[in-house]
Amino acid sequence: MRNIKKIKVITSFSIILVAGIFMIVGAKNISSGYGKNIVYSQINEQVKGVKQEKNTKVKKQKKENQEKKKIKPSKNENGAYNISGTIIVNKEYGLDKDYTYNDNQGLYDEATEAFEKMQKDAEKDRVWFHIVNRYRSYAVQSWMHEKYKKERENASMFSAQAGYSEHQTGLAFDLNGKNQETSSNEKFKDTQEYKWLKENAYKYGFILRYPEGKTDITGYIFEPWHYRYVGTDISYDLKDGDTTLEEYFNIK
């Protein structure tokens, strides 16, 4: 009997001891786990704060860089404003009264060759277009602008003042197909010629100079017929047909 009682006591003690150990270990684990959750939570908040601060700094730096990158074109020896050799003519940057395409003869000849190749390749696709207007002197542009002023309100949105037309460089091409009704008006955008140019002109160094929806930037209405030769280095960057030279160069 004594042995039986002794065994019972030892067994009971062992059970109590084991249970106590489990309780201590469990409590330690819970405490440890709870502590880790707090630490992880704190770390996450810190990381989140760092990321937000970093994003803010990146955005600020990006904005500052954009401001720094804004360029003011400089005049070359022939009297044309340019950026890295690309002639810039818009409402702010103009040409001297006596400036002609002879002052950029090399580019003029290059543009001529590029257009002739583009025209021939278009004919292979059974698309034909021709030049309606290309070079216009200061005097001709002056006459044309005065005519627009008499006929239209907001004439400056349709016609450049003398000295501020790309046509004076000979690098701007007003194009049309066989239908005279689509010449130099928005009807041209519904032609197969326009569709072909929209998809292919960049391959030859031409860009749509005044895209749709960019009047606030260019100052001119959408002109689907007006293409400008800039060379393939730039035209491939602008092949989407929706980016202006002003946006591309970030001109002030």
Instruction: List residues with catalytic annotation.
Output: 223
Closest among 68, 96, 178 to 130, alpha carbons compared: 178
For residue 160, give the DSSP letter. P
Is 232 in contact with 204 (CB distance < 8 Å)? yes
Q: Residue 206: which H helix or E strand, with range?
A: strand 206-208
Sign of the dihedral defined by the CA atoms of residues 213, 93, 155, 137, in that order: negative
CA dihedral 57, 69, 240, 168 (to 10 degrees): 160
Would you give the end-to-end CA distance of the chain in angstroms?
107
Rounded Cα distance, 194 and 224, in Å: 7
**Chain centroid to CA 190:** 25
Kindly give the residue spans of alpha helices, DSSP state H, lying in the chain.
2-69, 105-124, 138-151, 192-200, 215-218, 232-235, 245-249
